[in-house]
Amino acid sequence: MSQYFSADPSTIGARKGTLTTRAGKVLTPTFMPDGTRGAVKSLTPEQVISTGVQVVLANTFHLHLQPGEEVIHKLGGLHKFANRKAPILTDSGGFQVFSLAKIRKIAEEGVTFKDPRTGDTIFLSPEKSIQIQIRLGADMIVAFDDVVALDDIGRGRTQEAYERTHRWLERNVAEFKRLTKDMKPDDRPLLFGVAQGGLDKELRRRSLELVHASGVDGVAIGGLSVGETRAEMHDMLEYLATFYDPARPRFLLGVGDPADLRFAVEHGIDMLDCVLPTRNARHGTAWISGDQKVHLTNQKYADDAGPIDDSCDCATCAAGYSRGFLRHQFKVGEPLAGTLVSIHNIRYLERICEDYRNQL
């Protein structure tokens, strides 16, 4: 068992574990909200902590563009910069290969992006991404991979993306070793390698083997929730469940719908991140008991005095903010509404994870 992770010996199904990072221990399974630009949108770090969150993500691509890793380094590193002492994980920028597909060009060396804001040319490669992530000062970092959509068009590129992801994985690992060789084991960040392979089970299984063989600290599952159906995603998660290395943490990238999160945890996933709780919140939708979705902007809530969810212990529900109040704040465009519902939605996912940890 790794010095950084311990979990139940069970290899299939939900499991409880402890991940040890240089910024503290993380109990798994755990949901990690995305703070892409250094902050979970609309929330203070204190509000994030109030939801039970243990790890917050930040994004390499976005922070590299603005304000730049040198500025953040100068300001004391990501923790000081973002006013967060607890663990921070940075994503590599690989997802932007997918989400910014219209303004990027992939080559073997790396990916060239056009900054959507300034038009500047941005270059990201495995080496560059690792350098930025380490410079930022994240406690857990992710290998730079090649992400394809799983819509009808993207599926044709699965094999190519799989192959490139693994050629790049070696470069990610080499650069990581180079930059961390002088760090003490307790002081170095943890590296997650990413498994790809689209909806091809053979590729997925081999991808997982390659990630395991690369010696990384954790295994990330990428390339899901990018256009495939829910059934296809679940099928793949179910398939992969038997092939994970029991000694390493498994991080499912980008999944955060409550039903999907449950399914993932029940199939051996330890960590998940997603923009859904905060984005949905800003757009006026909240999850309530039973994984139901509530559109708080609906007219029927205009005079509803009740909280978002009677059985919720989040700060928003506990304080008694009514659906009628929240609907009004949404209708008048007051950002407070998005903040209050973000707290609720993140808490909703954290509570699911806590329940699993308490049951196991």
Q: Is 349 in the site for RNA (CB under 7 A)?
A: no
Binding to RNA, residues 106-125 (CB under 7 A): 116-117
**Pairing mode, strands 121-124 and 140-142:** unpaired
Task: Tell me, yes or no, if 145 is annotated catalytic.
Answer: no
Contacting RNA (CB under 7 A), which of 7, 274, 317, 349?
Answer: 274
Give residue 191's region: left, alpha or beta (phi > 0; psi -120 to 50): beta
Contacting RNA (CB under 7 A), which of 51, 131, 278, 316?
Answer: 278
Instruction: Give the per-residue contact string, 23-42, with RNA (x = CB under 7 A; - = no).
Output: ----------xx-x---xxx
Helix or strand run (H / E) with residue 195: strand 190-195
Contacting RNA (CB under 7 A), which of 12, 27, 49, 100?
Answer: 100
Q: Whole-number minimum distance, CB 1 to RNA, in Å?
A: 25
**Pairing mode, strands 104-106 and 111-114:** antiparallel
Q: Which residue, among 98, 75, 79, has the nearest Cα to 87 in the 3D structure?
A: 79
Q: What angle do CA 173, 26, 225 make, to 5 degrees?
A: 65
- State the catalytic residue, choosing from 91, 146, 217, 270: 91
Binding to RNA, residues 170-199 (CB under 7 A): 194, 196
Please give the full DSSP string across 73-117, using - where no structure is assigned: HHTTHHHHHHT--S-EEEE-SHHHHHHTGGGEEE-SS-EEEE-TT
Strand-pairing partners, residue 5, are 19
Q: Is 293 in the site for RNA (CB under 7 A)?
A: yes
Q: What is the DSSP code (8-state) at residue 179?
A: H
Q: Is 153 in the site for RNA (CB under 7 A)?
A: no
Q: Whole-number minimum distance, CB 29 to RNA, in Å?
A: 15
Residues in touch with RNA (CB under 7 A):
33-34, 36, 40-42, 57, 59, 62, 91-92, 94-96, 98-100, 102-103, 116-117, 142, 145, 147, 194, 196, 220, 222-223, 225-226, 230, 253-257, 260, 273-276, 278-280, 282-285, 293, 295, 297-300, 302, 331, 333, 335, 338
